[in-house]
Structure 1
Amino acid sequence: MRVAAVIPCFRVRRHILDVVERALGQVDFVYVVDDCCPEHSGDLVSEHCNSPKVRVIRHEINQGVGGAVTTGYVAALADGIDVVVKLDGDGQMDPDYIPSLIAPILAGTADYTKGNRFFDIDFLRDMPPVRVFGNSSLSFINKISSGYWNIMDPTNGYTAIHASALRAIDARKLAKRYFFESDMLFRLNVVRAVVRDVPMPAIYGDEQSNLKIGNVLLDFPKRYLKNFFKRFFYNYILRDMNIGTIETVLGGTLLVGGTLWGIGNWISHGIEGEVTPVGTVMLAALPIILGSQLLLAAIGYDIYNVPTEPLQKIQPPFIKVASPRSAAIPTQT
């Protein structure tokens, strides 16, 4: 299989040449995507890298890390690349781990692999505590949203994907900025791609993250919620109505209905200065308890329903394959 690395560039001038050089030792081709970098990282690579295995693609308008990676994906598909690795240009991702990252894909046991910094406690010693807490919280929320209950560290951007899975999703619909990694997992679940975690540490040095915590708190929750409802519709209503559908709908209805009815009666009796009758409390508690149990059962079914058969082996005929030409490639050299 032909393997390529896509390296999005934005304010990475100090690290990009070293990252490209080390990546060339592990892959067959490198796509450097200059995302309208104010430091002109793409020009730096063009000036110092004469290898025919390196292509620089330039964005005239900044599109964010997701937009830059998508451009690289489209170019790789057009060139017939089999496996595409996403590698940041700031030096946080060690290219020497690429063989471990792509091994499950080459073995035919996965369509998409990603780094997991939470596998070993030693991997977390150098990670700032705020990042440990934030990524742990996002991991649980992402499990519910994407349906990949076997995946940890969803915001880890060190990933690899097989061309069959990349063709199965519409790259134009991927989130353009920092929600890109989480959105990718949602879209891979919809097409039933197999995802695997690969343990590896992160490297923290003098690089500066462009991600703002405030943007995460305001933007990510609504995106996770939207993806959850879309996934539920696709997997549990449109394509198949099963016991998980019944448990979710009935459990949610009982839980919300019991809660609202109980609160309403509690407020009503409080206004009248009366104590809420025990029977009323029990009538509110019963649907809440039943609803909670049904939702737990639905989660159990969803965990059991995690994709296990790689797309690269089965190539389902019902999947709409996106053309490599479906997204325009910006000016490139």
Structure 2
Amino acid sequence: MATVIAVVIPCFRVKDHILDVIARLGPEVSQVYVVDDACPQTSGDFVSEHCQDPRVKVLRHPRNLGVGGAVMTGYAEALRNGADVVVKVDGDGQMDPGLIPLFVAPIIKGQADYTKGNRFYDLAQVVRMPARRLVGNALLSFVAKLSTGYWNLFDVTNGFTAIHAKVLRHLPMEKISERYFFETDLLFRLNTVRAVVVDIPMDAVYGTETSNLKIHKIFLEFAGKHLRNFSKRIFYNYFLRDMTVASLELVAGSVMLLFGLLFGGQHWARSIATGTATPTGTIMLAALPTLVGLQLLLAFVAFDVANMPRRPIHVDLPD
């Protein structure tokens, strides 16, 4: 039986590009869900009036929920209509719909549960990316490795994605961030169910469109959410679901490093205040737990990197 592929296109201020994006969708796509997220340009009405593609269904939000909220509305509709794989493509024309078969192939072949684009594979193409966007994405990607546990991924804010419907049904959709943190939060949720995620090399297209994502405005918000997800992931994976030698390395390393820094800092401050030299034994008592604690934490990180999901879960999930 043929795989039913659905495409979700969130729409907010993309009226100038949306029809071209839809027109470039290939015959492998069976369903198209255009989600008007209370767009001030009424993109949904524009598509309804000017698009004759029978695959297209327009969904509308009475109020703006953000890109994540729009995508999840499309996800829910695709699941209700029996989609096997759901692809998310932005409506601003920065993503090539012709790449959809590449995103879907690893999922159909049972090699991945979720695929996402990565614009950093080809260094010749990276130089085309605006400098501020390049630096911002690089920083966000590094922090996301810590919070999501997918150390092999990059370009985590890339919105060109595909997911197997079985995996989608197992995610707590009501808990996933509805706005720009959506892609990263979804990766965190995928890690909690041990889903396999694969990067797909792609080139970005930069034309007359403008991005609604302003890195400097959401930096603090993202930082807090990354810290929250990192804490949850560590607790879920290393204390609630399972305890391994890495759990002991994390606890012992944290305690020893904290003790060494506090003890050493206290005596260093006292030495400066009194003008007296700190005894060698005291220095060693601070330095030894600091170094050992740091080594244990590095060993934990190495274990965490090696502990990424390897077997796709959708192959074992019931229909």
Q: Judge same fold: TM > 0.5, yes or no.
A: yes
SS where residue 314 of structure 1 aligns?
coil
Q: Match of 2:293?
A: 291
- Following the alignment from structure 1 to structure 2, what is the Cα–Cα distance between the partners of residues 155 and 75? 24
Write out aligned runs for 1:208-223 (5 A).
208-223=210-225
- Asked if 2 retains the 8 angstrom alpha-carbon contact of 1:24 and 1:30, the reply is no
- Asked if 2 retains the 8 angstrom alpha-carbon contact of 1:26 and 1:95, the reply is no
Q: Match of 2:306?
A: 304
- Following the alignment from structure 2 to structure 1, what is the Cα–Cα distance between the partners of residues 117 and 45? 29
Write out aligned runs for 1:150-169 (5 A).
150-169=152-171
Cα displacement string for residues 100-151 of structure 1 (whole angstroms, at most 9, x for unaligned residues): 1111001111000000111110221210112222211221211111111111
- Following the alignment from structure 1 to structure 2, what is the Cα–Cα distance between the partners of residues 57 and 85? 16
SS where residue 223 of structure 1 aligns?
helix
- Asked if 1 retains the 8 angstrom alpha-carbon contact of 2:26 and 2:98, the reply is no
Q: Match of 1:181?
A: 183
- Following the alignment from structure 1 to structure 2, what is the Cα–Cα distance between the partners of residues 60 and 311? 36
- Asked if 2 retains the 8 angstrom alpha-carbon contact of 1:192 and 1:307, the reply is yes
Cα displacement string for residues 248-301 of structure 1 (whole angstroms, at most 9, x for unaligned residues): 111111112211111111112222232323322221111111111111111111
SS where residue 268 of structure 1 aligns?
helix
Q: Match of 1:64?
A: 66
Query: Which has the higher relative contact order, 1 or 2, with Cα contacts under 8 A spaced 6 or more apart?
Result: 1
Of residues 10, 21, 32, the one that matches 1:8 is 10
Tell which deviates more after alignment, 256-265 or 187-196.
256-265
- Following the alignment from structure 1 to structure 2, what is the Cα–Cα distance between the partners of residues 26 and 49? 18
Structure 1 runs of 4+ aligned residues shifted over 4 Å read none
- Asked if 1 retains the 8 angstrom alpha-carbon contact of 2:114 and 2:195, the reply is yes
- Asked if 1 retains the 8 angstrom alpha-carbon contact of 2:148 and 2:191, the reply is yes
Of residues 70, 75, 78, the one that matches 2:77 is 75
* Matching of residue 21 in structure 1 with residue 23 in structure 2: yes
- Following the alignment from structure 2 to structure 1, what is the Cα–Cα distance between the partners of residues 290 and 243? 24
Write out aligned runs for 1:1-333 (5 A).
1-23=3-25, 25-315=27-317
SS where residue 314 of structure 2 aligns?
helix
- Following the alignment from structure 2 to structure 1, what is the Cα–Cα distance between the partners of residues 216 and 133? 14
Structure 1's unaligned 5+ residue stretches are 322-333
TM-score normalized by structure 1?
Answer: 0.92
Tell which deviates more after alignment, 219-228 or 131-140.
131-140
- Asked if 1 retains the 8 angstrom alpha-carbon contact of 2:114 and 2:198, the reply is yes
Aligned partner letter, 2:160 = Y
SS where residue 23 of structure 1 aligns?
coil
TM-score normalized by structure 2?
Answer: 0.96
Aligned partner letter, 1:199 = P
How far the C-alpha of 1:74 sits from its partner, in A, is 0.8
Aligned partner letter, 2:59 = I
Structure 2's unaligned 5+ residue stretches are none
- Asked if 2 retains the 8 angstrom alpha-carbon contact of 1:36 and 1:62, the reply is yes
How far the C-alpha of 1:39 sits from its partner, in A, is 0.3
Cα displacement string for residues 186-208 of structure 1 (whole angstroms, at most 9, x for unaligned residues): 00000000000010111111111
- Following the alignment from structure 1 to structure 2, what is the Cα–Cα distance between the partners of residues 169 and 294? 33
Identity of aligned residues (%): 56
Aligned partner letter, 2:181 = F
SS where residue 311 of structure 1 aligns?
coil
RMSD: 1.4
